[in-house]
Amino acid sequence: MRAFLWCNGEKPDKEIISNLGNISPLFGVDGGGNKAKSFGFDVKEILGDLDSVVNDDQVTKTTLLENQNLSDLTKAINELEKRGFSEFDILGVDGGDTGHILGIWGSLAEISENLVIRLHHQNSTTYRITTELRNFKIDVDKDRLFSIFALTKCQNVCVKGAEWEIFNEEFDLSTKGLHNRGLGNTITISVEGILVLIIQN
């Protein structure tokens, strides 16, 4: 099942929201629930430690997730995974506190590798690629820029169908995969580990 999560960052532009279609079911990640509601979205439930939540309407369900060793985003995804969700589109990830921004990338490194995760930014889309998601394929327009970054130590990184192809290389968190370019066809990415593909809009 697929779920949408709204974090406590900036509102994506209208085109991004429109391309996502029906944003439902939508869950707020702590204060992100209030932000989504203020933009007119129907929030099914707010998840987190609730320290940033203003439950002014007393209608939206709130669920307290108490583990302070994990971020609200990680806790929300873990909770929804238990409920059967396996695919997540995450909005509201830009802007705000620097620690929270880095925490979003940390969440992508620590949650289950079986989950499909996409982050929707103002100027790009991030796709998480893991060992479990073998031979990830996506169409990339000609000359469209994209980057890959390792979130964990990665082995046997392969990128096929791009201007600069990569074959069985080792990646750590670095600028090694910064700014590749699409050729107007399908690119295929495989990895042993966890990396992210960031495609500019």
Question: CA–CA separation, 136 vs 138, rounded Å?
Answer: 7
Question: CA–CA separation, 181 vs 150, rounded Å?
Answer: 18
Quote the pLDDT of residue 181. Answer: 98
Question: CA–CA separation, 107 vs 78, rounded Å?
Answer: 10
CA angle 86, 91, 92 (to 5 degrees): 140
Q: What is the DSSP letter of 115?
A: S
Q: For the whole model, what pTM was predicted?
A: 0.95
Q: How many CB atoms lie within 10 A of CB 142?
A: 10
**Domains annotated on the chain, with CATH:** 2-122 (3.40.50.10240), 128-200 (2.60.120.320)
CA angle 118, 3, 121 (to 5 degrees): 30
In the block, which residue shows the tokens 């695919």? 87
Quote the pLDDT of residue 5. Answer: 98
- What backbone phi and psi angles, to 5 degrees, belong to 150? -80, 130
Positions of the chain with pLDDT lower than 70, given as ranges: 55-58
Quote the pLDDT of residue 32. Answer: 93
Please give the structure tokens belonging to residue 137: 């394929």
HSE value, Cβ hemisphere, 13 Å, CA-based, for 76: 31
Asked if 124 and 200 touch (Cβ cutoff 8 Å), the reply is yes
Quote the pLDDT of residue 57. Answer: 58
